[in-house]
Structure 1
Amino acid sequence: MSEFMRPLALDEVGAGVERRIAANAEERAALAARFDLRALDRLEAVLTALPAPGGVRVTGRVEAEAVQVCATSGEDVPARIDEPVELLFLHHLGEAGEEVELHEVDCDVLPIEGRSIDLGEAAAQTFGLALDPYPRADAETLAAARRRLISEEEAAEREAAQKAQANPFAVLKRNS
């Protein structure tokens, strides 16, 4: 089940229909979890559905503001998405077991399942594909993160000191 469902019944398409959709706070939280984001502050789309031979063509734009996690430092990385959408939903992509040959221009072809298409899921998938798979923080943020790093020796010393403080008999042992 999609976190951001906005079904458009096929009989609503007629000669063409435009939809403006936006994810609410609960949907954005679910999508942030799905796409492993720190936050998804905005996800909106303006999509136009037009009849096409064998299905429906959907065009428009998806816009979003999110916070990703830097792949190297774990710091926050703001992401602004402004992505065009061009999808073709078809009734018959091929029968079960039938081999379907896809060409480069066919990569944005999706099956129509039932009597509607889900514009919300189309927007969510477009958003997900537009995200940087390896986000990196800016140089200043990375430099600040590096300054907070400690060596393995320093980490071992800190751990030993914490263990000594946690054990009240450690002082007695050192003094004997």
Structure 2
Amino acid sequence: MSRNKTAVAVGASAAVFVAGGAFAGVAVQPYLMDQAAVDTKLVIARTAADAITTLWTYTPDDMDKLPDRSAKYLSGDFEDQYRKYVDAIVPTNKQAKVTNSTEVVGAAVESLTGSEATAIVYTNTTSKSPLTKDIPATKYLSYRVQLTRDGSHWLVTKMTTVTSLDLTPKL
């Protein structure tokens, strides 16, 4: 009889252990899914911020290389539009010796659905040129950046300006 009680006790302990493990698995799964979503959103926000910084930071010496530098962040029609835009402004900006510097001051994911995401990026952009006696033109801009996943990378497919505030001193 003693063996029987021991077997029942071992069986009951095993059942409690298995049930506890199953409960822990069920309880942890939503946390892991939430953590994966947070990690993905961080990657999206960083990618959007890095893309904006790369797209709008240049000097007269490296502006003509801007489309190639930016290509790793862009995709589809937007990549083509950006390349055409830069190609159109390079001669004028090089001649005027324009230096543009963009600092991202905030970025957040607005939406994430499968392989599509939208991020909002807030920036301070400063431009200067000898033609304006190197007095910096400062703008506060925010962008809505649409991205799509391509393998393990997020690429910008569309970008629209949400706000634009010119903070350049008027002399």
User: Normalising TM by the smaller chain, what interval?
Assistant: 0.3 to 0.5
Q: Which has a greater percent of helix?
A: 2
TM-score relative to the length of structure 1: 0.33
Greater C-alpha Rg = 2
TM-score relative to the length of structure 2: 0.33
